[in-house]
Amino acid sequence: MSTGKGKKRVKNTPVLYDEAKKRRGVWLTDTAWHSVQELAVKNDVSASEYLEEMIRKYCVTEA
């Protein structure tokens, strides 16, 4: 799992993927959100990056 550490960050320029991330809204229960946060900490990534990795891992749909 790449964290992109050591790569220069430039606004609106993707580092880990071939496209930039955009702000999205997701509604979750407190239980689900706390689980995402705990799993993200265990994997040493942000909650956003954890969700991105899980979605990319389990969904094969291409844009």
* 17-48 per-position pLDDT tens digit: 678 878 899 999 999 999 999 999 999 999 99
Banded pLDDT at 2 (limits 50, 70, 90): low
* pTM of full prediction above 0.85: no
Question: What average pLDDT score do residues 1-22 get?
Answer: 65
Q: What is the 3-state secondary structure (H, E, C) of the chain?
A: CCCCCCCCCCCCCCCCCCCCCCCCCCCCCHHHHHHHHHHHHHCCCCHHHHHHHHHHHHCCCCC
For the chain, the domains span 28-63
